[in-house]
Amino acid sequence: MTRNDLITEIEHPPCKLACPILTDVREYVQLIAERRYEEAFATIRKQSPLPRVCGRICTHPCETACKRGQVDEPIAIAALKRFASDGLWRDQYEAALPGKSTGHKVAVVGSGPAGLAAAHDLALLGHGVTIFEALPVLGGMLRVGVPEYRLPKNVVDEEIQAILDLGVEVKTGVRIGEEIKLTDLFEQGYKAVFMGIGAHRDRKLHIAGEDKLEGVVSAVSFLRGVNQAEKPRVGVKVAVIGGGNTAIDSARSALRLGAEGVHIVYRRSREEMPAAKEEIEEAAHEGVQMSYLTSPLEILGRDGKVSALKCIKNELGEPDDSGRRSPKPVPGSEFTFDVDMVIAAIGQAPDSSLVAEEIEVTEKRKRIIVDGPYTLVTTQPGVFAGGDAVTGPATVVEAISAGKRAAISIDSYLRGESPATVESAGPTETERLSSVIIEKTTKFERCVKTSLPADNRVKGFDEVEAVLSEDVAVKEALRCLHCFLGARLDKEKCISCLTCVRVCPLSIPTTSKMGEITIDPIACQACGMCALECPVRAIDISLDHRGEMSQEIEKGMAESHQPDPVIVGFFDLHGNFGSSDVESLKQDYPNILPVMVFGLRKIDTSDILKAFESGADGVFLAGCPPDTDPFAETADRVKRRMTHARTLLDAMGIDGARLEVCDMPEQGIVDKELIDGLIQRIKEAGQARSE
Amino acid sequence: MITLEQKKFQEIEKMTKGYNPLLVLGCETCAAMSFAGGQRQVAELASAIRVARKTTEQKGEVLEDAVARQCEPEFVDLIADKVGGCDAVLSIACGAGVQLLAERFQDKVILPGCNTTFLGVTEELGVWSERCAGCGNCILDKTAGLCPIARCSKQLLNGPCGGSMNGKCEISKEVDCVWQLIIDRLTRLNRLEMLEEIFPVKDWSPAGHGGPRKMVREDLKS
Ligand SMILES: Cc1cc2nc3c(=O)[nH]c(=O)nc-3n(C[C@H](O)[C@H](O)[C@H](O)COP(=O)(O)OP(=O)(O)OC[C@H]3O[C@@H](n4cnc5c(N)ncnc54)[C@H](O)[C@@H]3O)c2cc1C
Ligand code: SF4
Ligand code: SF4
């Protein structure tokens, strides 16, 4: 399925649409909220063969798109992904096995995320894959670019191993284009080639002093050194030129290797800086100095070694073709400062010269030319390309996406089908929420990540950021607004009774004067109030689907063989409880069948009667404390609904006291006294009834 | 709309006793809007009967269904098969619905699960109040758009009576004196002189006092 189909097909949450590999973010966020971590991991792993890598360094366009971001701050999706992918439950995941062999051999050139993703998907499709890698190690920039303190190498190794376990072969130390040309690969029996050679050639500064002085290095080679056991020596005062992630990583690495002062010299202002915001903040926090609106003019030297950097200040002029305002030097603003090392990090181009005779590359930036983003066919039939090699320096997830698209395209090529030519739909902008809804939405603070204190960080390459704790992760996941899981109105059933218009805490349903109800699926947050109160059940919501809930109860009741009274307990997932609380509830009260819901709003009198119908002796509803409830204003309505239920139970001769409604304690899941009281009452009522 | 409310559960339980299977039949218009007989209430009531039967060890299946309006023969006929397979139907519609069922299903027991209350308006979700008595001869043009027949406890046409106190009716402090409201509104409209015209004795025959009412439109009927 292409992105285009997805957009037009049905509504998808902004987070999913923003992800280049269409990871079902909403689903795994929700599964984490429900403490179903294995399934959360499976959801992530289904789309990405490198979940732990992505959980750490993905640029998370999903967060930029996240609707919560319009209300307060986006869900910390990347941190949640890391939480779901790092946990030991990932070992339970049963990865897909390679499909039946097709007999075709495919060469994948380059073992970065693009090559790895292509190899993974091609292997699953049953093709025989061999990876050719120029370097002695696998992983591309994941291994030789991104430093250990952001991406531990054992994480990279483990994920690569899982891909190799699919039967993918590897040839390291082979630079295609040198001894083995592309044509040779076809002669060796490969039926298709994927070029995922990345962008490893640093662009030059083109200033005086660059080539002849000792102490000037390119960022790619510097970081390659940083990622080896034998670390490079750094100067005392280091200038890093550039504003991308490579520049930031070079600067932070230089600090860790003992530099006393590190300056990033960037020609535009902070707003235009392409590096991730968090990275810039972390670098500044660790002590990296930033010189914005500054361009280097010349590297000065003494005795053949770097001694100073001459710069000029800039001001911002008109936007250039990248849309960013271009820097213009301010005459007379030249200045010089002392440095003994200069790292050039002003961008990379693909190292495509070796293959440029066989496939066409762009003139200036040397990028491999492909015919379209979904086919990825180069000018040479049977040769496909993707990742940084095609786009120039980009991101891991875009590289994975390219690898996956290439696998599909190569597969259809090998099967003799013409590859689909689908154009990308372009960036999808998240629809804006109205100010009324933003105002009415309960704000919840985004989780704070734990990281090493800055002093400890710069002493070495230990991973800076820690994985979220379980309770923090669950709480964060509960901030999700459940985009598109909300109210869907069956117009055929609707009788225009206006109940939804009247009960929605966000005033989302609206009516025309002829009674036509509209419920905006983008604005709806799936609180469930309308779906429940609708007298003709014309509204359905996907979150806590009624049908599934009653099945769960029936199944649970059928399986329960307790001597004690059996109680169905509905618990609001928004409570302040941890997994240990759930565990001890199960241990202390094996006679309680817990049903976890996103809000007690979703429990109707008929659900309570269903529980009794299925054989329950009592029903217990535990609501979350008001400050954790996203729809606290509905709590009173829930209580009144339960009073109605109790009256009905009394009238039925069942004794309304068998139904208990309470708030959870500030911390924990139940008040034992209350439950024990309920059990006692039920025992007494039970006796009374059988007399 | 016509408002209605479900009968007390004990009454329903008693009248439905022994019928197997029993069909609880909802009506998806006025009854639904009154939260007395829509699908949601069908599910609740059917479940309640089932549980009550179980706890008192009575046998008997309880089925659920609903139609758009029980006051229309075409809708009612669509469930003929289901009704055919049942001992009795508990209709949670207004009295009109119950009676149409009885007419269409001649040899079935048809039971009323609701009390039909009045013709009224929704004040807010869950609050309804009476506005019209269906008297067959509307006088709202003369009473500032407020009906003394439906809303005056004594149905006075030349009110108010001496029991009107501080705008409230003498029967209860909760009840507005509609005649006070009429006077207030006519004052606002600057039409107070309209009250100088005395209502003659009302002809109640269009209100049903002349026997059951029926309405025929020659241009529409077959
Ligand atoms: C310092 C740094 C930090 C970064 N941080 C982030 C980040 O935080 N988040 C993010 O999303 N992205 C980040 N990126 C970008 C990301 O790493 C790249 O976009 C991604 O790795 C590109 O994947 P790729 O597979 O296209 O190429 P690469 O990962 O570059 O892999 C290409 C591979 O091909 C090999 N190769 C090249 N030529 C040949 C040949 N002729 N024959 C055989 N093998 C060959 C190379 O040796 C290399 O192993 C960062 C990049 C750098 C350099
Ligand atoms: S609120 Fe939830 S579903 Fe909506 S975009 Fe954010 S993470 Fe996705
Ligand atoms: S589910 Fe909740 S938020 Fe969505 S329309 Fe219904 S009442 Fe409003």
- The DSSP string of A528-582 is -HHHHH-TT--EE-STT-HHHHHHHHHHHHHH---SSPPEEEEEETTSS--HHHH
Question: In this complex, is the C-beta atom of B127 within 8 Å of any C-beta atom belonging to chain A?
Answer: no
Ranges A89-103, A189-203, A367-381, most confident: A189-203
pLDDT at B18: 94
Whether A25 contacts A43, CB under 8 Å: no
- CATH number for the domain formed by residue range(s) A487-541: 3.30.70.20
Q: Whose CA is nearest to atom 8 of ligand 3?
A: A504
Domain ranges of chain A: 3-94+433-477, 105-199+350-414, 202-348, 487-541, 546-690
Q: B2-118, which class in CATH?
A: alpha beta
Residue A245 C-alpha to ligand 1 middle, in angstroms? 12
The beta-carbon neighbor of B52 closest among A493, A495, A652 is A652
pLDDT, one tens digit per residue, over A587-644 is 999 999 999 999 999 999 999 999 999 889 999 999 999 999 999 999 999 999 999 9
Task: Give residues with Cβ within 8 angstroms of B18, minimum separation 6.
Answer: B58, B60, B87
- CATH number for the domain formed by residue range(s) A3-94+433-477: 1.10.1060
What DSSP string runs through A136-194? SSSSTHHHHTS-TTTS-HHHHHHHHHHHHTTT-EEEET--TTSSS-HHHHHHTTEEEEE
Count of pairs with CB atoms under 8 A, one residue in A, one in B:
69
CB < 8 Å to A689, chain B? 55
pLDDT beyond 50 at A690: no
Q: Which residues pair with A596 in a beta bridge?
A: A571
Q: A546-690, which class in CATH?
A: alpha beta
pLDDT at A9: 42
The beta-carbon neighbor of B48 closest among A497, A498, A609 is A609
pLDDT at A428: 57
pLDDT at A429: 62
- The matching CATH number, chosen from 2.40.40.20, 3.40.50.300, 3.90.1150.180, 3.50.50.60, for A202-348 is 3.50.50.60
Per CATH, A202-348 and A546-690 having the same topology is answered: no
pLDDT, one tens digit per residue, over B44-78 is 999 999 999 988 888 899 999 999 999 999 999 99
Whether A544 contacts A528, CB under 8 Å: yes
| Residue A371, token pair as written in the block | 């015919």
pLDDT, one tens digit per residue, over A288-340 is 999 999 999 999 999 999 999 999 999 998 888 878 888 999 999 999 999 99
Measured between CA atoms, how close is B104 to chain A, in angstroms? 24
Domain ranges of chain B: 2-118, 133-202
Q: What is the pTM of this model?
A: 0.91
CB < 8 Å to A688, chain B? none
Q: A105-199+350-414, which class in CATH?
A: alpha beta
Distance (Å, rounded) from C-alpha A544 to C-alpha A485?
10
How much of chain B is in helix, strand and coil states, percent to nearest 5? 35, 20, 45
Neighbouring C-beta atoms of residue A335, cutoff 10 Å: 12
Measured between CA atoms, how close is A634 to chain B, in angstroms? 14
Q: Which stretches within B58-175 are classed as H helix? A: 73-77, 80-84, 95-104, 148-151
Once rounded to an integer, what is the mean pLDDT over residues A15-30?
94
CB < 8 Å to A653, chain B? 52, 55-56
Measured between CA atoms, how close is A589 to chain B, in angstroms? 25
| Residue in B17, B47, B64, B92 to test binding to A, most A beta-carbons within 10 Å | B47
Once rounded to an integer, what is the mean pLDDT over residues A547-568?
83
The beta-carbon neighbor of A648 closest among B9, B28, B35 is B9
Whether A309 contacts A265, CB under 8 Å: yes
Say if the Cβ atoms of A612 and B51 lie within 8 Å. yes
CB < 8 Å to A495, chain B? 28-29, 32-33, 38
pLDDT at A579: 85
Does residue A351 line the site of ligand 1, with CB under 6 A? Answer: yes
The beta-carbon neighbor of B39 closest among A498, A537, A648 is A537
pLDDT at A3: 43
Residue A429: phi and psi, rounded to 5, are: -85, 140
Say if the Cβ atoms of A654 and B51 lie within 8 Å. yes
ipTM score for this prediction: 0.92
A219: closest CA among A45, A342, A306? A342
pLDDT beyond 60 at A426: no
Distance (Å, rounded) from C-alpha A205 to C-alpha A91?
47
Per-residue pLDDT for chain B (222 aa), expressed as one digit of tens each? 999 999 999 999 999 999 999 999 999 999 999 999 999 999 999 999 999 998 888 889 999 999 999 999 999 999 999 999 999 999 999 999 999 999 999 999 999 999 999 999 999 999 999 999 999 999 999 999 999 999 999 999 998 999 999 999 999 999 999 999 999 999 999 999 999 999 999 999 999 898 999 999 999 999
Please give the residue of chain B at the shortest CA–CA distance from A644: B44
Does residue A170 line the site of ligand 1, with CB under 6 A? Answer: no
